[in-house]
Amino acid sequence: MSLLDHTHNPAAQSWVASANAADTDFPLQNLPYGLFRRAGSNENARVGIAIGDQILDLHLAASAGRWSSAVQVLLQPLADGDLNSFMAQPAAQRRQVRHALFDALLAGSKQQSALTVALVPQAKAQMAVPCRIGDYTDFYTGIHHATTVGKLFRPDNPLLPNYKWVPIGYHGRSSSIGVSGSTVRRPLGQLMPPGAEAPVRAACKRLDHELELGLFVAGGNALGEPIPMAEADDHMFGVTLLNDWSARDMQGWEYQPLGPFLAKNFATTISPWIVSMDALEPFRSAFAHPASDPQPLPYLDSDKNRGEGAYEIELEVWLQTETMRVAGEPATRLMRSNFKHAYWTLAQMLTHHASNGCNLQPGDLLGTGTQSGPEANEGGSMLELSLGGKQSLTLPNGETRSFLADGDCISLRAYALKEGARRIGFGECSATIVPAPQL
């Protein structure tokens, strides 16, 4: 059953004027959730909704607005700054809050005068990781990334036999997840120099980004109780941008036989806003594996997943070097791809994760893996764009890069765009690389 409703009306306008700009990431139809405090203040972090260039402070809005008794109860965890408790609510109740917020921010709303005092300019807000992330798992659903990287190491067999049968993933480290606008320190680790007989401990020399989306889990499941595909959508809260930073030289030495470890757990950056699954409803599309590929096992298949399990989301990576920043030059775009190319859907990721009875919890984060496109210039990492460091990219100012340098700022951007729907953005996911600590 379609969940499209009046909150997806592309003609709807807000009394917050900046939300009506054609190029805003945060129109009335979006209403993503984030956690913030006023810059320079000591106030407790509070949950907010992005609307244009403003934030609706839900701590203030809950008391200043005129809400039905049912909505007032549902707003309470948000007013308390507890997004995780709100995530745990059933999908119908979360949708009820979306409807109430949409109606309150709609042009002509009787709530305007009451809620104006609850607006905070985004420029005056300090953003935080939007919720408590208990566990973080990173998948490998970008088949074009997996194929290109596989060819670098296994030219005759780029995809391992299980790739087209099972959503591959590994458990990451939630403690090192940071929000956009932070710095990432170049990691130290064991490296095996070419031709050497023993590794050395040194600063990573092949630091890389990975362009991903992150899915936040809504209501979880009891230990030992799988989540079937028919219920997967109700367990998905929303999507953020995610940069899975990678130390490629450390990774190449340590990943066998158990997979990623120190090459990944030193930093992950996410955008500050969680775009709800309801906001993305207009951008669903059909999903299918190629007819010549193995088809999903029954527990990973459903009519709904085949009919509308994919999401069309444009993805971009931008780079601004320190030299560009000093010269006042803007960032340059390195690539563009689309999430529709993912080999497994969000619902399949979540269902597979819980299929052995693993208990997911509200606020858990599932990364999608690097989302590259089918063309050579659509690689979602420097590893792909430089063919493993064999060729350098020349930037508009003449600088070259095969991997990332200290002072580089990487920004991920995303937006859902479809005829007949309002453009939905995700905000930036940016971080600047700083030098490794001294040995």
Q: Choosing from 8, 59, 144, 145, which is the catalytic residue? A: 145
Rounded Cα gap, residues 34 and 49, in angstroms: 6
Q: Is 209 a catalytic residue?
A: no
Structure tokens at 196: 């050497």
User: Position 249: which residue type?
Assistant: D
Contacts of 145 (CB under 8 A, 6+ apart): 369, 370, 371, 372, 379, 380, 381, 384
Beta-strand runs (E) in 154-204 = 169-171, 177-179, 182-185, 188-191, 200-203
Structure tokens at 87: 């995530």
Half-sphere exposure of 355 (CA within 13 A, CB side): 16
Report whether 209 contacts 382 (CB < 8 A): yes
Q: How far apart are CA 82 and CA 78, in angstroms?
A: 6
User: What is the 8-class DSSP label of residue 13?
Assistant: -
Q: Do 54 and 115 contact (CB within 8 A), yes or no?
A: no
Burial of 294 (0-12, 13-18, 19+ CB in 10 A): exposed
Q: What is the DSSP letter of 426?
A: -
Compute the Cα dihedral for 430, 132, 79, 72 and give only its sign: positive
Reported residue count of the chain is 439
The tokens describing 217, both together, are 């889990």
Residue 232 exposed, middle or buried by CB count within 10 Å (0-12, 13-18, 19+): buried
Alpha helices in 320-429 (DSSP H): 322-326, 346-354, 382-385
Write the single-letter amino acid at 417: L
Residues tagged active-site: 145
